[in-house]
Structures are given as C-alpha cells and as structure tokens.
Amino acid sequence: MKATALAHPNIALVKYWGKRDEALILPHQSSLSLTLSPLSVTTTVEFGVGHDAVELNGHTARGSERERVLRLLEQVRAAAKKDLGPAKVVSRGDFPMAAGLASSAAGFAALAVAGRAAAGLPADPRAASILARMGSGSACRSVQGGFCEWQRGERADGEDSFAVQRFDAAWWPDLRMVVAILDRGEKEVKSRDGMKHTVDTSPYYPAWVQDAEKEIPQAREHIARRDLQALGDLCERNAWRMHATSLAANPPLCYLNSGTLALIQHLREQRKKGIPVWFTLDAGPNPVLLTDAAHEVAAEALARACGALEVVRCVPGGDAELKPEHLF
Ligand code: DP6
C-alpha cells in the first residue's frame, strides 16, 4: 500500500497549447517532448493511513494544489476497484530554488506511477500516462524517457489520449538542453489560464492547431536522423508560433520579456558564427537552449552573457521509475 517513484520533467519541442476538454485534459493537438535528466521529482504515496494529507516540497498543500493531487488518486481508487482508504502523499523536487522551472509535469508523472503501484496496480506506461495527464497535460509525457509523443486522440473519454515513447533516452546521447533562468518570478498568467484565454480569444488558434499537428511527423523524422539543425529550426519555429497565438489573443498575452529577446538575438549571432544552438520557450520568459555535447559550455556561456541568473545543463532522461526507499 506504499510506493515511491521518481520522474523527470520534459521540454516540449512541439508544444501542447490548448484543451478541447478541460475536465479530462484533452488537447486540441498532439505534442512531442524530450525528457530531461538530471532534474527530478520523487513522490511517495501510501494508502490506508489516518486522513488524506499532501505535502509538496516541505509544505502542506492546500486549495487547488491539494485538490489536483487528491483528484488523481480518486482515479487510482476507481482503477483499483477497492477501498484503499485515505492517502498520504509526500513529494520533493530537486529543481533549483524558485528556478522558474515547472515541476508539475515530473510531479504528476511520479504521483501517477507511485499511486498505481501503491494501489497494487501493475506497471503500465499507457495507463500511467493517462492518469498523469489528468493531473497536468504535459505530465503524460514524463512517464517515459527520451522523446515522447502525446497523441491527441479522438475519443471523448480520453482513453486514446496518452504519450508514447518514440525514441528512448539512449537514442541521441549527444543532445543537450540548457535551461537559462533569466527571471525567477512567478509568471503572471499560468499555462492553464493562458492556453484557455488563447483558445477562447485568439483568431490564430485554429492555424496553430493545424500547423502543430503537421510538425509532429517532421520532428519525428529529424530525430530519427539525429539532424540537430532541422530539429532546432523546427523547435524555434514551433515556439514562435505558440507565442504568436497568445500575442494575438484579446487582450494579448506576452510571456517574453526584454531579456528573452536579447538572448534570442545573441543566440542568432552565435549561430551565424557556427555555434549550433537553438531555443524553445514555454509559457514564461526562460528559454531552453538546444545544442550538442560539444557546445553545451558555449550555450551556457551565451546564457550567462545575457544575464542568466542560473543555468541548468540537461541530457536526455529516462523513464519514471519505482524506488525502494520511501520519503516517509
Ligand atoms: C507551454 O501541462 O502545465 O509548457 O494541462 O493545464 O496542467 P495543464 O498545462 P501544462 O501546460 C504546458 C504548456 C507548455 C507546453 C508543453 O509543455 O507542451
């Protein structure tokens, strides 16, 4: 009745931006990401103890944060088809302090894997991905390592909307992602709210959906050929297009700041000088740079020269996994 799992975050190369069903978290389009090591979240779940209790990074979770965790465990209880009793959850991330990095993808993936194991359910990446998705959409792509594709699915019940691994972490060991923390502040508009506002008000949104879906097989091909330049170009283009849909919302939504733009400018200059480095950008001002092992030091230097407060160098990460030691 007790299990612990560790999961890594992921960075989308083709982004997920917008839901067709907010309750089940079903996306309008498919997305594709790379799992990142060494950053990780570890979560222990135990059923059948005192009362429901959720502790995240040393603090008792309250409000919607607590609700999201407990709602996911409700799904575990339904799948187990037995009375598991109350649940205790303790979760810890090793992300740099207030780094502006979202740990929710790794957090919900670790919770899904640990929750299923604590309930005695068998290891099943597809079921765990569906479960993680209901906590946070991008979390479905952190159940497995390497390059994962979240297929939007067609069904109304979401049973065909989960992530599948296309290439494992060992496929492209030379690939590097360098996270540049330019701003540690909480973002003003969370991804969940920003994407809803964009779906509801941006006239560019239908074009985004069509285009992102088309980019998936192309991204897959570039990864199959380990073509960094083609993947880098696609990844930048896709990030710009996601941000363009939000800029066209009413009122407009801009996640970039002047530091972000300065870094992008500098990156282009470096690329002209032969440094193979590209960027992607989630719903915030902190770019993630895509490069290879031979240039990760140069990519870090570039980020620091542009005022990065912190830089985290990442390599392709592995699957979420069960751990023998528990957090409590
Ligand atoms: C810009 O997965 O955090 O990072 O499903 O509402 O929890 P919810 O949203 P979330 O959104 C991630 C958006 C993104 C792009 C991506 O990771 O694909």
CB of 104 shorter than 6 A to ligand 1: yes
Question: Which ligand 1 atom sits nearest the alpha carbon of residue 138?
Answer: 2
What pLDDT shows up at residue 186?
Answer: 76
Is the pLDDT at 96 greater than 80, yes or no? no
Distance CA 32, CA 11 (A): 9
Residue 225: its H or E element: none
CB of 191 shorter than 6 A to ligand 1: yes
What pLDDT shows up at residue 236?
Answer: 98
pLDDT band, very low/low/confident/very high, at 103 (cuts 50, 70, 90): confident
What pLDDT shows up at residue 284?
Answer: 93
Q: Is the peptide bond before 9 cis (omega within 30 degrees of 0)?
A: no
Residue 136 Cα to ligand 1 middle (Å): 7
Distance of CA 94 to the CA centre of its chain: 15
> Ligand 1: which of 10, 16, 65 to mutate, judged by most atoms within 8 Å of the beta carbon?
16
Is the pLDDT at 97 greater than 70, yes or no? no
Residue 176's beta-bridge partner residues? Answer: 291
Average the pLDDT over 39-60 and give the result: 96
What pLDDT shows up at residue 135?
Answer: 97
Distance CA 234, CA 210 (A): 15
| Cα torsion through 29, 27, 182, 10, rounded to 10 | -90
Residue 12 Cα to ligand 1 middle (Å): 9
| Cα torsion through 305, 307, 313, 318, rounded to 10 | -140
pLDDT band, very low/low/confident/very high, at 138 (cuts 50, 70, 90): very high
Residue 35 exposed, middle or buried by CB count within 10 Å (0-12, 13-18, 19+): buried
pLDDT in tens, 58-86: 999 999 999 999 999 999 999 999 889 99
Distance CA 114, CA 106 (A): 12
Residue 140 exposed, middle or buried by CB count within 10 Å (0-12, 13-18, 19+): buried
> Ligand 1: which of 138, 198, 253, 282 to mutate, judged by most atoms within 8 Å of the beta carbon?
138
Residue 166 Cα to ligand 1 middle (Å): 20
Distance CA 3, CA 319 (A): 16
**53 neighbors 31 (Cβ within 8 angstroms):** no
Is the pLDDT at 98 greater than 80, yes or no? no
pLDDT in tens, 162-179: 999 999 999 999 999 999
Question: Which ligand 1 atom sits nearest the alpha carbon of residue 105?
Answer: 2
Quote the ipTM score: 0.99
Distance CA 134, CA 73 (A): 10
pLDDT in tens, 248-279: 999 999 999 999 999 999 999 999 999 999 99
CB of 16 shorter than 6 A to ligand 1: yes
Structure tokens at 248: 């066209």
What pLDDT shows up at residue 100?
Answer: 56
Q: Is 310 helix (H, G, I), strand (E, B) or coil?
A: strand
Structure tokens at 57: 């990074």
Is the pLDDT at 30 greater than 70, yes or no? yes
Most distant CA atoms of the chain, gap in Å: 63
CB of 103 shorter than 6 A to ligand 1: no
State the helix-helix crossing angle for 104-118 and 63-80, rounded to 10 degrees.
30
pLDDT band, very low/low/confident/very high, at 187 (cuts 50, 70, 90): confident
